[in-house]
Structure 1
Amino acid sequence: MTGDEQRPAGVRERKRQALRRRLSDTATAMFLADGFDAVRVSDIAEACGVSTKTVWNHFPTKESLILDRGERLATDLARAADGPPEPTGGMHVLDVVVSCIKSELALLDEEPVAAGRDSEVIGSVRAFALLVGANPGLRAATAERQEFLTNSAMRAVAHQARLPVDAPQVHILAGALISLWRLHLSGLLRLGDGIRTTHDIRENVLQDLEVGQALVRSLFRETANAETTAPDSHP
């Protein structure tokens, strides 16, 4: 049995996530410096001291090296779609999305930065925006990723609300959930101006999130009320 196999699962997972982040951060920096098309996956592997196969094991495409911010969101939405629906013990899909956002924002607490400097978290979001804006292929991949997250949200909402996945309410609620995810990213870009501290940025984004969360929760509540009061269509 290897050393890695003897490690507790939590330790192995943290090690895996640390390597993923290092690969993604290195790739982002190299793409910014030399251009997305000019950098090969083998160059990224060499810079990180790993094999090219290791990079492919973590990222199925070159584009996914910088499109991994929604990885946990996609995983947790899939779990919500397969888990027990509300209110019988399943976690409300809105709370799933909010939890993912707060975990992203918590990274700011791990690297407190005073005013006048950029944090790594905000720097990576800004770098992502710059890269996507300059590369048509990345814009297409980003749109595809957005559609994947929206479809994942639709499946989770349909399951939790006990509605058909193509119901209009499901489309609206899923779109609102993904808008919440985009809200925190746009907030980091807007507020990460080099003037505010990471603490101030986090608190401001959390305030925006609270407003958005209340709006989306009201949509879920109205949908639930409409389902409860709708006349029985069965004979």
Structure 2
Amino acid sequence: MSVESMGLRESKKQETRLLISDHATRLFLEQGFEQTTIAEIATAARVAKKTVTNYFPRKEDLAFDHHEQFTASLAAAVAGRAEGESPLAALRREFTAALDARNPVAGFAGPDFARMVAESPTLTARLRDLHDQREEALAVALADTANLADATETPSIAPRAAAALLGAAHRLLFRRIQELTLAGRSNDVIATTLAPEAAHVFDLLESALGDFPTAAA
């Protein structure tokens, strides 16, 4: 198969995935997540049920289509930080950028989507799981950064402890965005409200973490 053919095939797969996701989201918002079936989604997207499950093994993944980006986001910020920048500073900078961009990964998903998640026990549980996965990925990134083999005074649990603090902070800020969204606040108002609140949260982390594990890239 030629490179061009492979490219066209991959493009077609992405189009199909997006088509299924778009129809699923529409049905979830109209009918509720729990009430919508895979068969209904397949019918709306004009594909077989097996095609839906091939692209989305879990029904929840149809709602959280960007879950891989979400779970990797904190670890990616740490891994991609600037030379001399601490992990905490990188995460603070990334969250500020997410506020400015009204990024859905930070929690800007709109009132309809936020309400759908809040009203679904399945989606609420899945969101908790995704937060846990994001924290675990962050712990791995911090451990790689810390190089604990050369840090004789740093306990081996330190990266996980730091990830727990940072994960909890981001979970809190995510929930705060959702809370304000459900209260009817606009994205602009939410971002304005969150800016000083996030600064307070990161200031608290600063006193606890400083430049742990290192400011060196």
Q: Shorter-chain TM-score category?
A: 0.5 to 0.7
Distance 1:156 1:13, change over 3 A: farther
- SS of the residue corresponding to residue 191 of structure 1 reads coil
In 1, Cα distance between equivalents of 2:45 and 2:8: 25
Q: Counterpart amino acid of 1:25?
A: T
In 2, Cα distance between equivalents of 1:208 and 1:13: 40
Q: Please, which runs of 5 or more residues in structure 2 have no aligned partner?
A: 149-157
TM-score by length of 2: 0.66
Contact 2:81–2:90 under 8 Å retained in 1: no
The Cα shift of 1:171 comes to: 1.8
Matched with 1:128 is: 117
Matched with 2:60 is: 63
Equivalent residue runs for 1:147-226 within 5 Å: 147-156=132-141, 164-167=158-161, 169-192=162-185, 201-222=186-207, 223-224=209-210
The Cα shift of 1:40 comes to: 2.8
Percent sequence identity is 21
In 1, Cα distance between equivalents of 2:174 and 2:60: 20
Contact 1:86–1:92 under 8 Å retained in 2: no
Matched with 1:79 is: 76
User: Larger RCO: Structure 1 or Structure 2 (Cα < 8 Å, ≥ 6 residues apart)?
Assistant: 2
Distance 1:188 1:45, change over 3 A: same
Q: Counterpart amino acid of 1:188?
A: T
Contact 2:42–2:48 under 8 Å retained in 1: yes
The Cα shift of 1:207 comes to: 1.2
Task: Report the count of equivalent residues.
Answer: 197
In 1, Cα distance between equivalents of 2:72 and 2:12: 18
What's the RMSD between the two structures over aligned residues? 4.0
- SS of the residue corresponding to residue 87 of structure 1 reads coil
Contact 2:102–2:191 under 8 Å retained in 1: no
Q: Please, which runs of 5 or more residues in structure 1 have no aligned partner?
A: 107-119, 193-200, 229-235
In 2, Cα distance between equivalents of 1:15 and 1:165: 39
Contact 1:77–1:93 under 8 Å retained in 2: yes
The Cα shift of 1:159 comes to: 5.3
Matched with 1:5 is: 7
TM-score by length of 1: 0.62
Contact 2:136–2:163 under 8 Å retained in 1: no
Q: Counterpart amino acid of 2:181?
A: L
Distance 1:76 1:59, change over 3 A: same
